[in-house]
Structure 1
Amino acid sequence: MRLGFVGAGRMGRPMVDRLVQAGHEVRVLGRSPESRSALADSGAAAQADLAAVADGADVVLVCVFTDDQVRQVCVDDGLLAAMRPGTTLVVHTTCNPRTVEGLAEHAAPHGVSVVDAAISGGPHDIAAGRLTILVGGDDAAFEAARPALSAYGDPVLHVGPLGHGQRVKLVNNAVFTANIGLLAAAVDLGKQLGIDESTLLSALPHGSAASRALQGVAGRGSVAAFFDSVGEFVRKDIAVVRSVTADLGTDLGVLDAVIPAGS
């Protein structure tokens, strides 16, 4: 497939590498000569502007950080306008479902389909081809995007219509963050029982308390160190899910009671 890619950063760069390794022709936005040189070393075709990224692409993937950046790239800077009719835009950014639904309204006059493809995992999962991808969109758009997503995703899950990839991811991240809060409480309990944190964290992953969050905490050696490593992403996503639930006139319920302060 001929693909365009915007957002070759911490998560996006290993995606580009996997796409190239899978035999896809990948055009990637590189805004500086240095970034274009680094991208060219991977076998991708580095481009200086969005029109060149979109030129001839069957699918364009966007992996920027915030809702504002998604709207800036896709609408204000003209990515959607540069895409040809019949192509598909894939948004990997974890964002408010309204953001991708709004993109679809902008995309429709251009004949472009949109899917949201929220991701769960890290750069090491991408490199290993085992990133979890939660996709929202109609069946045809999902099938159009699947060959690209399968280069680094396993499983690639179609979870419903447009926006549902984001909704499932936001629930996932609320539970994940609540698990970090529960682990902080567990460490406090252990200290009251005379067990130091490192001893507790070396034992719990082998018992029924095991979880993805616990695995990450144990790998970092402490709850505080792990939260420092993921805090930037967690805070952004928790702010989004709180905004979404507030719009619905509800809240996170018991999850909010255990989500760490400052999230």
Structure 2
Amino acid sequence: MRVGFIGLGDQGEPMAEAIAEAGHELHVWARRPEVMAPFVERGAVGHASAAELAAEVEHLGLCVGSEADVRSVLFDGGVLEALPDGAVVAIHSTISPEACQRIAAEAPPYGVDVIDAPVSGGRRVAQERGLLVMVGGEEAPVSRAMPVLETYGNPVRHLGPIGSGQVVKVLNNLLMNANLTNSHLVLELGRHLGLDRAALRELLLHGTSRSFALSALDDQVIPGKLSAVTGRKDLAVARQFIDGAGSPVDLLDQVVAIALEVREHLDGSLSSTAARS
């Protein structure tokens, strides 16, 4: 299959590598030519614009930062106009379910199908071809996309109509942020009780308190160096879910508030004292 991929970042890079390794004809574009260069050297087709890429592919994966970035590529970049009839666009970016629904509703006049396929696992898991891929969309385009999604995803789950993948991804990120928050605050408590933070973390990873968040903290997620932007975006969507659900889960709103504060601390924007208040 002729597959295009835009968004060759920390997680997108190994996803694109997996597509090529599976034998698909990989087409790439990036705003900075040096990002494309390693792929072109290994046999991928590089393009001068997103629209030029789109004209050559049957499947396009987008792994860019935000809804605005997705719309910029698809609409401002002329991608939807350039894609051939029957092409599938897979949105891997974490954006709101409503955003995916709006984009999908605008695609039919172009003869293009849109699915949402956010992923979870991070760069290391992407390199192992074991990302969780959460898919929303109509059955036919999802089926056409599966040979591509399965190159880097295990498991790949079709969850329902467009936007369904994003619902599960936001819930995944809410739980991850809650776990990250708890892990950081417990390690800080231990430090204030006179324990070595690193030694405590290592020990707790062997107990029932172990989690992906605890293993990532101070390793992949380093206090003072984590960007809070993604956390703010994901937790804002989660808060919308909570507001819509009502009283059965309204305590989660407090979880979101604390998680946002701790994310700011991990970003280096707050002092340790503020994060503990």
Confirm or deny a common fold (TM above 0.5): yes
Structure 1 segment 59-98 matched on structure 2, within 5 A: 59-98=59-98
Shift of 1:100: 0.9
Helix, strand or coil: the match of 1:115? strand
Structure 1 segment 234-249 matched on structure 2, within 5 A: 234-243=231-240, 245-246=242-243, 248=244
Structure 1 segment 86-125 matched on structure 2, within 5 A: 86-125=86-125
How high is the sequence identity, in percent, across the aligned residues?
36
Judging changes above 3 Å, is the alpha-carbon distance between structure 1 residues 77 and 219 closer, same or farther for their aligned structure 2 residues? closer
Judging changes above 3 Å, is the alpha-carbon distance between structure 1 residues 218 and 29 closer, same or farther for their aligned structure 2 residues? closer
Shift of 1:243: 4.6
Deviations 1:224-255 (A, max 9, x none): x2573364432332233335555x37564342
In the alignment, the residues of structure 1 paired with residue 207 and residue 174 of structure 2 have an alpha-carbon distance, to the nearest angstrom, of: 23
In the alignment, the residues of structure 2 paired with residue 13 and residue 208 of structure 1 have an alpha-carbon distance, to the nearest angstrom, of: 34
Aligned to 2:169: 169
Shift of 1:193: 4.5
In the alignment, the residues of structure 1 paired with residue 90 and residue 104 of structure 2 have an alpha-carbon distance, to the nearest angstrom, of: 11
Q: Which amino acid aligns with 1:228?
A: K
TM-score by length of 1: 0.89
Shift of 1:198: 1.9
Helix, strand or coil: the match of 1:135? strand
Identify the range of structure 1 (155-164 vs 249-258) with the bigger mean alpha-carbon deviation: 249-258
In the alignment, the residues of structure 1 paired with residue 35 and residue 191 of structure 2 have an alpha-carbon distance, to the nearest angstrom, of: 48
Helix, strand or coil: the match of 2:159? strand
In the alignment, the residues of structure 2 paired with residue 54 and residue 198 of structure 1 have an alpha-carbon distance, to the nearest angstrom, of: 48
In the alignment, the residues of structure 1 paired with residue 158 and residue 147 of structure 2 have an alpha-carbon distance, to the nearest angstrom, of: 13
Aligned to 2:274: none
Q: Which amino acid aligns with 1:139?
A: E
In the alignment, the residues of structure 2 paired with residue 227 and residue 149 of structure 1 have an alpha-carbon distance, to the nearest angstrom, of: 34
Aligned to 1:185: 185
In the alignment, the residues of structure 1 paired with residue 154 and residue 186 of structure 2 have an alpha-carbon distance, to the nearest angstrom, of: 32
Deviations 1:179-230 (A, max 9, x none): 111113322442455433222101111111111101112646xx7x257336
Aligned to 2:43: 43
Aligned to 1:233: 230
Judging changes above 3 Å, is the alpha-carbon distance between structure 1 residues 36 and 167 closer, same or farther for their aligned structure 2 residues? same
Aligned to 1:3: 3
Helix, strand or coil: the match of 2:236? helix
Helix, strand or coil: the match of 1:228? coil
In the alignment, the residues of structure 2 paired with residue 192 and residue 31 of structure 1 have an alpha-carbon distance, to the nearest angstrom, of: 46
RMSD: 2.2
Helix, strand or coil: the match of 1:206? coil
Deviations 1:35-74 (A, max 9, x none): 4433311321010112221124221111111110001111
The answer to whether the Cα contact below 8 Å between 2:85 and 2:112 also exists between their aligned partners in 1 is yes
Shift of 1:31: 3.3
Q: Which amino acid aligns with 2:239?
A: R
Q: Which amino acid aligns with 1:79?
A: V
Helix, strand or coil: the match of 2:217? helix
Helix, strand or coil: the match of 2:205? helix
Helix, strand or coil: the match of 1:151? helix
Q: Which runs of 4+ in 1 moved over 6 A?
A: none
Deviations 1:130-188 (A, max 9, x none): 11111111221211111111111111111221101111111111111111111133224
Q: Which amino acid aligns with 1:240?
A: V
The answer to whether the Cα contact below 8 Å between 1:96 and 1:244 also exists between their aligned partners in 2 is no
Judging changes above 3 Å, is the alpha-carbon distance between structure 1 residues 230 and 176 closer, same or farther for their aligned structure 2 residues? farther
In the alignment, the residues of structure 2 paired with residue 259 and residue 216 of structure 1 have an alpha-carbon distance, to the nearest angstrom, of: 16
In the alignment, the residues of structure 2 paired with residue 215 and residue 35 of structure 1 have an alpha-carbon distance, to the nearest angstrom, of: 30
Aligned to 1:13: 13
Q: Which amino acid aligns with 1:6?
A: I
The answer to whether the Cα contact below 8 Å between 2:176 and 2:213 also exists between their aligned partners in 1 is yes
Helix, strand or coil: the match of 1:31? coil
Stretches of structure 2 lacking an aligned partner (at least 5 in a row): 264-277
Tell me, yes or no, if structure 1 residue 214 matches structure 2 residue 214.
Answer: yes
The answer to whether the Cα contact below 8 Å between 1:50 and 1:82 also exists between their aligned partners in 2 is no
